[in-house]
Amino acid sequence: MLYIYHNYYVVLYVNRIYYMKSSKIVKLLLGYTLVNEFVGREGFNIQQYNKGNYSLFLKQARGENIPALVSEKEILIWLAQHFQNTPLVKRFENDGDVYSLIITAVPGEQAQRMKTAFTKKEIIKLAALALNRLHNTDLSTFPKTQNILDAELDNISSDIAQGRINIDEFTKATNSTPIAALQKLQNQFASLDQTALTHGDYCLPNILITPEKLVSLIDWTKGGISDIHRDFSAIEGSIARNFGQEFIPFFYQAYGIEPQKVDRNKIEFFNLIDQFFYHRIPTQPIT
């Protein structure tokens, strides 16, 4: 439970005690209980707070992760006007160099964990329909018109320049040096059709499903305008890892695209971008 003790805000969690500086964020969480915390895949600190049946998620970033959190906040605000079941932004603020986003919890379990309630094909169908809807959303009022890939390639380029890619591991995994791979990406860039809203990390754990088949998409730090193959590449990998390669055609069938219309070169393009992410030397999480 988060409470005040001698002018400190105190959170007890398992066998640890956190003292937090007073801020609007902390005040919003007074009376809540910290029930879960973890460091996300991209270095964000995530905590879940409950009060009765009501649940909030606190996602925090600092340093180079701040722009992604700001972007997630902006996309969530826009998405809430277009999609039901979008996490609602309750608060966004910074305390020194730590940026905090508080969002409401959406119902459901990570899609790959719903195997007892649904068949794998049913789960895949729900994921495909949600993505089709996202890709066909009218973007006339979308605030972030710049495509996401320009910045992504710039980041890769500066990661290489600063020695932040593990060259040996990257080369082993891709048969290409980071510099040659970046060159390849830059050459292919013009062939992409960057006109849709993409999630950017469209994997099963970011798709929450309820037993009533309500679908909610979470984790929008990589969301933005790009080519739809960006999401195809992510979901293909996720389906293969969780359910098996042979289930991928069901995804395209439900999405409504003939498998031969899926551009394998573009899938390769986004797979290669991911390799830079996998072989990036991580920064320190918030302590």
Give the residues lining the site for Mg ion (CB under 5 A). Answer: 206, 219
Stretch that binds ligand ADP, among 34-42, 113-121, 179-187, 240-248 (CB under 6 A): 34-42
In degrees, rounded to 5, the angle at the alpha carbon of residue 221 between the alpha carbons of residues 194 and 87 is 110
The answer to whether 208 and 106 have CB atoms below 8 angstroms apart is yes
| Beta pairing, strands 16-20 & 8-13 | antiparallel
**Distance between CA 280 and CA 163 in Å, rounded?**
9
Nearer to ligand ADP, 8 or 13 (CB): 13
* Shortest Cβ 138–Mg ion spacing (Å): 26
236 is a site residue for ligand ADP (CB under 6 A):
no
How many C-beta neighbours within 10 Å does residue 228 have?
25
Nearer to Mg ion, 103 or 182 (CB): 103
106 is a site residue for ligand ADP (CB under 6 A):
yes
What are 38's strand-pairing partners?
Answer: 46
Which partner, ligand ADP, Mg ion, none, binds residue 87 by CB below 5 to 8 Å per kind?
ligand ADP
The answer to whether 202 and 131 have CB atoms below 8 angstroms apart is yes
28 is a site residue for ligand ADP (CB under 6 A):
no
**Distance between CA 33 and CA 240 in Å, rounded?**
37
- Can you read off the two tokens belonging to residue 48? 């879940």
79 is a site residue for ligand ADP (CB under 6 A):
no
The residue whose Cβ lies closest to ligand ADP is 40
CA quadruple 130, 81, 101, 35: dihedral sign: negative
Nearer to Mg ion, 198 or 206 (CB): 206
Which partner, ligand ADP, Mg ion, none, binds residue 134 by CB below 5 to 8 Å per kind?
none
By the criterion CB under 6 A, which residues form the site for ligand ADP? 40-42, 44, 46, 57, 87, 103, 105-106, 110, 205-206, 208, 218-219
